[in-house]
Copies of this chain bind each other. A is one copy, B any other.
Amino acid sequence: MEKYVFTDSVGYLTTTISRILQQKLHARFKYTGLNTTPEQWRLLVLISNEGEMNQSRLAELQHKDRAAIKRLIDHLEVKKLVTRKAGQDSRAYIITLTQKGKEVVQVFNKASKETVKEALSCFTETEAKKLNLLLNKLLNNIS
């Protein structure tokens, strides 16, 4: 009988905001002509920032399962943005960015920053900082 108030729920808010930002980002990515999705870009950034690692570790850092990462890497490999190298542990691949992969990351980083900037246009500098702080604290609490 009682109403569930969406605007009181971080779950609803983050999910909806995330979806809308993904849509905006996707549109901007499409505009570049490079055929890469936001989720593929996120994976590329992670490797670019943290250095090469195996699929299992990527899954852990992205809070996804190994199957999801496997398929993303499949796509990135076809597009030659990433390669699977053999390492000491013969169960695992080491995933590394190609030159093309590095270039794509740079283009999309810029597009992403513009999207974020636009989204935050309603905030003062202080508010934006506060939001960031709170979101990071929340993420820390649940992960």
Known contacts A12-B42, A21-B14, A21-B15; decide if A4 and B105 are in contact (CB<8 Å).
yes
Q: Give which listed residue, B7, B15, B143, contacts A18 with CB less than 8 A.
A: B15
The tally of residues in A whose CB lies under 8 Å from a CB in B reads 58
Q: Give which listed residue, B13, B127, B138, contacts A139 with CB less than 8 A.
A: B13
* Those of A61-81 within 8 Å (CB) of chain B: 62-64
Q: Give which listed residue, B6, B7, B18, B142, contacts A45 with CB less than 8 A.
A: B6
State in angstroms the CA–CA spacing of A8 and B49 once bound together: 14
A88 at the B interface (CB under 8 A)? no
Are B21 and A10 in contact, CB atoms less than 8 angstroms apart?
yes
Are A14 and B14 in contact, CB atoms less than 8 angstroms apart?
yes
Are B112 and A11 in contact, CB atoms less than 8 angstroms apart?
yes
* Those of A1-32 within 8 Å (CB) of chain B: 1-4, 6-25
